[in-house]
């Protein structure tokens, strides 16, 4: 390691060393877990804020490592993006969530759409469109029942992204902008994107009742989204005060622990049967 130059310090720093060890170990484990398909998906309901009716579910990846236990997507998704492993992993989620959605529909359980997180790296793969098209055809899923959640970082590569988004839109998929307000999107870009929905990021929802400027930001996002004809959904709602503020300011939909945590398959099926959260 002598000729690593500047990295020498990092290399011998005991804390960083164990961090990067964990990272290498996780990368190996991640590869293996992808091969063995040892992930599961939890589903979090999206609800009508006024009635509690379930209008959609978001698919969220879960990974339980044999020795490290539960590993948060906040940790392994960035690693998967860095290493490119997000491509096969994302493909698996797409397939699995679509298969599930079709099953619920066939069983007469629910005809609500499923939202699937797509990382920019995955979307920019050459064969991404082909891949989603194939999944949908093979499984017999209706594209309009599949919502793809992408983040504002697609804006950094706007021309290429627009091409892909327009194709997805033509195929009938629903598109939403995740974590809205945290990225780079300027309003002028936003109105050119073929999207259906924006998801107000949890960090803004957190601030709603804390201070008046937090509330003002959320109100502005709702008004803007509504004026541009987007469906607006707020994420990370934990309190009734937040729910009330959102309703009063014209936000229709919400998602958060107040209504339901992301649930394992059996539990979400039960909830879908009822169609409503309490």
Binding residues vs ligand C2E (CB under 6 A)? 44, 60-61, 72-74, 77, 90, 93, 117, 119, 178-179, 235-238, 255-257, 262
DSSP β-ladder status, 69-71 and 174-180: unpaired
Compute the chain's Rg from CA coordinates: 20
Residue 176 binds which entry of ligand C2E, Ca ion, none, CB below 5-8 Å type-dependent: none
Residues with Cβ within 8 Å of 53's Cβ and at least 6 positions away in sequence, in order, are 47, 275, 276
- The smaller minimum CB distance to Ca ion, of residues 29 and 233, is found at 233
CA distance 221 to 242: 15
Residues that bind Ca ion in the complex, under the rule CB under 5 A: 117, 149, 178-179, 235
Q: How far is the CB of 7 from ligand C2E (least distance, A)?
A: 29
- The smaller minimum CB distance to ligand C2E, of residues 59 and 145, is found at 59
CA distance 72 to 15: 20
- The smaller minimum CB distance to ligand C2E, of residues 48 and 238, is found at 238
Q: How far is the CB of 42 from Ca ion (least distance, A)?
A: 12
CA distance 117 to 130: 17
- The smaller minimum CB distance to ligand C2E, of residues 14 and 197, is found at 197
- The smaller minimum CB distance to ligand C2E, of residues 56 and 256, is found at 256
Residue holding tokens 């960035």? 78
Q: How far is the CB of 87 from Ca ion (least distance, A)?
A: 18
Q: How far is the CB of 160 from ligand C2E (least distance, A)?
A: 18
- The smaller minimum CB distance to Ca ion, of residues 29 and 221, is found at 221
Residues with Cβ within 8 Å of 1's Cβ and at least 6 positions away in sequence, in order, are 7, 8, 11
CA distance 267 to 38: 20
Q: How far is the CB of 261 from Ca ion (least distance, A)?
A: 14
CA distance 27 to 235: 30
Instruction: Return contacts of 70-73, CB within 8 angstroms, 24+ apart.
Output: 71/26
Q: How far is the CB of 183 from ligand C2E (least distance, A)?
A: 12
């Amino acid at each position: 390691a002598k000729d690593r130059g500047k990295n020498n310090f990092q290399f011998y720093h005991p804390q960083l060393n164990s961090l990067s060890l964990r990272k290498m170990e996780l990368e190996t484990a991640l590869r293996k877990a992808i091969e063995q398909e040892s992930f599961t998906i939890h589903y979090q309901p999206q609800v009508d804020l006024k009635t509690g009716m379930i209008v959609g579910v978001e698919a969220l990846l879960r990974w339980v490592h044999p020795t490290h236990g539960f590993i948060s997507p906040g940790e392994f998704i960035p690693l998967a993006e860095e290493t490119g492993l997000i491509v096969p992993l994302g493909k698996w989620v797409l397939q699995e969530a679509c298969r599930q959605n079709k099953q619920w529909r066939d069983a007469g359980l629910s005809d609500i759409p499923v939202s699937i997180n797509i990382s920019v790296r995955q979307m920019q793969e050459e064969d991404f469109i082909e891949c989603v098209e194939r999944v949908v055809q093979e499984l017999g899923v209706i594209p309009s029942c599949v919502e793809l959640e992408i983040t504002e970082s697609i804006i950094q590569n706007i021309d290429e992204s627009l091409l892909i988004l327009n194709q997805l839109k033509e195929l009938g998929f629903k598109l939403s902008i995740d974590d809205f307000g945290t990225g780079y999107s300027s309003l002028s870009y936003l109105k050119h994107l073929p999207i259906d929905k924006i998801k107000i990021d949890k960090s803004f929802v957190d601030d709603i009742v804390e201070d008046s400027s937090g509330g003002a930001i959320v109100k502005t996002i709702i008004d803007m989204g509504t004026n541009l004809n987007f469906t607006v959904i707020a994420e990370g709602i934990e309190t009734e005060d937040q729910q009330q503020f959102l309703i009063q300011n014209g936000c229709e939909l919400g998602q958060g622990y107040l209504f339901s945590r992301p649930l394992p398959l059996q539990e979400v099926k039960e909830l879908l049967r009822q169609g409503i959260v309490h």
